[in-house]
C-alpha cells in the first residue's frame, strides 16, 4: 500500500496524539515493533518496508497498550497458561488496533491492516505450534511484533 508523505504525516500525528493521551512514549530504534509495558515505551523500527506498514505496526502496538487484563489472569501460572495469555494478548492487540483504526477515521488502511493481521497471525500460529518452550515463544513474539 502506498501513502503520500502528506497523508502519512497527518495519520502519524493522529497516532502520536493517541500515544500522548495514553502516556506512552514513541521511540524509533532497533529492527522490530515492540511495546514495553513497564517503561510505557513503544519501539518502532528505524527502517520500515513502507510508511503504511509503520502505521499498521503502530496501531497494533497501541492495541497492546489498550489490552490490559487477561481473561485468564486468574489461572495459576504454568507454562501452558502463560502461553495462552501471550496468544490472547497478540490477538487482542490486533483487534484493538483495528477498532482504533475505525474510530480515528483511518479507514484507508483498512484492507492493508487486515492483510497484515492475517499474515502476521499465520506466522504466529505456526510459531506457537512449533514452540515447546515459553522463553522461545516470547523471543519469537518479539521478532514477529
Ligand atoms: Zn504484538
Residue-range domains of the chain with CATH: 5-144 (1.10.10)
State which residues of the chain have pLDDT below 50.
Answer: 145
Compute the distance from residue 5 Cα to the ligand 1 centre, in Å: 26
Q: What was the pLDDT predicted at 35?
A: 92
Q: What local confidence, expressed as pLDDT, does residue 141 receive? A: 55
pLDDT of residue 7: 97
pLDDT at 131: 61
Q: Is the dihedral of CA 73, 75, 76, 82 positive or negative?
A: negative
pTM summary value: 0.88
**Tell me, what's the pLDDT at 93?**
94
> By C-alpha distance, which of 60, 53, 35, 61 is closest to 109?
53
Looking at residue 14, its pLDDT comes to 98
- 131 Cα to the center of ligand 1, angstroms: 17
- pLDDT for 52 equals 95
On whether the CB atoms of residues 66 and 54 are closer than 8 A, the answer is no
pLDDT number for residue 140 = 52
Q: Quick one: pLDDT at residue 129?
A: 67
| pLDDT score at 82 | 77
pLDDT at residue number 120: 86
Query: How far, in Å, is the centroid of ligand 1 from the Cα of 6?
Result: 27
Amino acid at each position: 500500500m502506498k501513502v503520500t508523505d502528506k497523508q502519512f504525516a497527518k495519520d502519524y500525528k493522529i497516532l502520536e496524539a493517541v500515544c500522548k493521551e495514553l502516556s506512552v512514549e514513541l521511540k524509533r530504534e532497533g529492527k522490530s515493533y515492540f511495546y514495553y509495558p513497564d517503561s510505557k515505551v513503544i519501539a518502532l523500527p528505524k527502517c520500515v518496508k513502507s510508511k503504511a506498514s509503520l502505521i499498521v505496526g503502530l496501531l497494533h502496538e497501541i492495541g497492546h497498550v489498550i489490552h490490559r487484563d487477561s481473561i485468564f489472569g486468574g489461572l495459576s501460572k504454568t507454562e501452558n497458561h502463560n502461553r495462552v495469555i501471550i496468544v490472547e494478548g497478540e490477538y487482542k492487540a490486533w483487534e484493538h488496533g483495528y477498532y482504533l483504526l475505525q474510530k480515528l477515521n483511518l479507514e484507508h488502511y483498512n484492507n492493508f491492516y487486515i492483510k497484515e493481521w492475517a499474515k502476521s497471525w499465520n506466522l504466529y500460529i505456526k510459531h506457537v505450534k512449533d514452540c515447546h518452550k515459553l522463553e522461545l515463544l516470547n523471543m519469537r513474539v518479539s521478532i514477529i511484533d
